[in-house]
Amino acid sequence: MSDATSAFSHQRPVNIAFGILIILLYVFLMAPLVMIVGASFTGGLLIDFPPQGLSLKWYFEFFERQDLVDGLLMSLRIGAITAVVTMTVAMMAALAGQAISGRLSGWFQLGMTLPLLVPELLTAVGLLFFLYKIELGKTVVGLQMGHILMSFPYAYVSIAAAMRQVPASLEEASASLGATGWQTFRLVILPLVMPGLAMGGIFAFINSFDLYTISLLLKPLGGNTLPLALFDFLTYEFKPTAAAAATLSILLSILGVAIVQKLVGLQRAF
Amino acid sequence: MATVEVRDLRKRYHNFLALDGVSLKAESGQLVTLLGPSGCGKSTTLRCLAGFLEPNGGEITVAGESILSTPANRRGFGVVFQNYALFPHMTVAENIGYGLKLQKVSKSELTSRVNEVMDLVRLDGLSDRLPREISGGQQQRVALARALVLKPKLLLLDEPLANLDARLRDEVRWLIRDLQQQSGITAFYVTHDQSEAMAMSDMVAVMKAGRVAQFATPREIYQKPTERYVADFTGEANFLSCTDVTPQGDGRYAIAVAGTTLELGGVPGIASGAPAELLLRPEALELTMPESGTFRGTVTKSAFLGAALHCEITLPDDSILKLSAEPNTQVTTGDAVGIAIDRSHAWLMPKVAP
């Protein structure tokens, strides 16, 4: 009884402390974003926070820079293909993971997330050698393969988690009602894992959009992704154009989250 | 409808023998219950029938033809699961119409057949609800309707009432039995609840460690069990050790038990002098004056339960008999009493290793 009373009397300060912790956490997470978004609207000539006056001129500047726009388009294209391919392959892998039982299953899961566990630089170097061997070194296809490899675990983890929520008895029920394996997948499993699948695709896209090291090593001659183009740009010029580009990337991520929310609802995706 | 026969079915997982030669037979239109504790192989047998598991040996035939090489989706059996296994993203009507849709049945026929079966299981007005929006009892009725709408050759029910509360359990139990009898579908029903098994079944298979301990009608299972395990699992029972078993022919035996000798029926084939035990169900026993009963004993416990007076009587050889007496019987602990037995409800069984 005394324990319960003391817990009750301490509840208020604990709640306040917890609230402060949460606020600090959000400040920590949001501060860089606020800085960069703020700086993109500056009227001055340098990346600066708080911004000097308000202006959209750095956005116009961004879209006038051919190298940055080319980088953006390349990143979008590679990200979109990465999302589609990883969703498909990760869905198949998750189905296989479900079918594997016992001790092997743990190893399979680990194997599927391996690209997350190995340093990106090492994967990139290894892949570079491999791509040269199959004569795809320094090509867009090679870069695309690298992005798919690095983004696959994100999609897989999200889809496999969704698959685990589908009880095996649903598949059995479907079979007993006359459905083939494909019909069961299309009519029962796919609709139920859709939120996880969409989330996986968006994770893969955002991850691909953000990859730097592997892009640096595998990039085709004369082609740049947006992060590479931005880094090149910042090496010589410290203009708020970069902040505008970063803000556009943030908008893109928000758009992705909004799509998930619209399609399936965020609660179901996580 | 069809006769279903299971012969010498075997299933092994790694180093665990789940089924060790199960043989059963369901005549057309019968409801056969597989009764036993968890791990006895009853669900494994059902899953082999459904085609979800491949047995390592044995044979399953429907109307004389083997179905083992037919995959689950072409067996045409209805399966009702313990957790209902309704598709959570489909409405009640879509769940029930799922199988018909796969068969590419016309829209009008689909609607009319779904409505018909919903009427049958009393689900009117719920067609547009999602499974999570209806009660457990209703969900189980949807599962039943979903299986029945396809007019299956065989209905397989895996503990369909286990997740329902007591009141609903009764209701759904009678619904299942009524529908099964009306439609004449052969059915296998898995349960660990003996009263369910007794009330619903044409035949009961009591299972024990991957084998069928006894396969018979509910009456025989209860009154003439082949071994103590079966008697124990099917209801309250008293067991007394017997000596001097002398077969009298025709399944009758003379025995010595707790200081008296008796002549009664029992499991055929018990050898002379073999270890045996006497089964006495509580309702076969009656309290009498000390001098007039078959046995004499002392009341060691009595509890008033409303409808009956529960008594435990210790016999001179220290064995204990439990029985239900008329609630107004005047007995207290320590009283000397006699016990009369209804000999037609006493049954001799061979003593086997548990």
Structure tokens at A38: 């703020």
ipTM of the complex: 0.85
- B164 with B106: CB under 8 angstroms? no
Nearest Cα to A36, choosing from A265, A264, A249, A258?
A249
Q: For B236-350, CATH number?
A: 2.40.50.140
B299 phi and psi angles, rounded to 5 deg: -70, 125
As a whole number, mean pLDDT of residues B259-272 equals 87
List the single residue in A167, A177, A192 with the smallest CB-CB distance to B99.
A177
The DSSP secondary structure of B168-227, one letter per residue, reads HHHHHHHHHHHHHHHHT-EEEEEES-HHHHHHH-SEEEEEETTEEEEEE-HHHHHHS-SS
Q: For residue A268, what pLDDT is reported?
A: 57
Intervals of CATH 3.40.50.300 along chain B: 4-228
| Cα A236 to chain centroid, rounded | 29
Nearest-CA distance from A171 to chain B in Å? 9
Intervals of CATH 2.40.50.140 along chain B: 236-350
Q: For residue A265, what pLDDT is reported?
A: 67
Q: Does the beta-carbon distance from B72 to A180 stay under 8 Å?
A: no
Instruction: Indicate whether B327 pLDDT > 60.
Output: yes
Q: For residue A267, what pLDDT is reported?
A: 61
Structural domains of chain A in order of their starting residue, each with its CATH number: 65-269 (1.10.3720.10)
Residues β-bridged to residue B325: B309
Task: Write down the pTM of the prediction.
Answer: 0.82
Task: Express each pLDDT in B146-185 by its tens digit.
Answer: 999 999 999 999 999 888 888 888 888 898 999 999 989 9
**Helices (H), ranges, B17-165:** 42-50, 92-102, 107-120, 136-148
Q: How far apart are CA A254 and CA A257, in angstroms?
A: 5
Q: Which of B21-30, B186-195, B256-265 has the lowest mean pLDDT?
A: B256-265
List the single residue in A180, A187, A191 with the smallest CB-CB distance to B73.
A180
Task: Express each pLDDT in B197-245 by its tens digit.
Answer: 998 999 999 999 999 999 999 999 999 999 999 999 888 899 998 888 8
Given a cut of 50, the residues of chain A with pLDDT beneath it are 1-5
Task: Express each pLDDT in B243-259 by its tens digit.
Answer: 888 898 888 898 988 87
Q: For residue A1, what pLDDT is reported?
A: 42
Size of interface A-B (CB pairs under 8 A): 61
Task: Express each pLDDT in B77-119 by its tens digit.
Answer: 999 999 999 999 999 999 999 999 999 999 999 999 999 999 9
Query: The tokens 């308000």 sit on which residue?
Result: A54
Q: Does the beta-carbon distance from B73 to A175 stay under 8 Å?
A: yes
Q: Does the beta-carbon distance from A176 to B50 stay under 8 Å?
A: yes
CATH fold of B4-228, please?
Answer: Rossmann fold (3.40.50)
Instruction: Indicate whether B34 pLDDT > 70.
Output: yes
As a whole number, mean pLDDT of residues B306-332 equals 87
Nearest Cα to B152, choosing from B249, B65, B74?
B74
Q: For residue B117, what pLDDT is reported?
A: 92
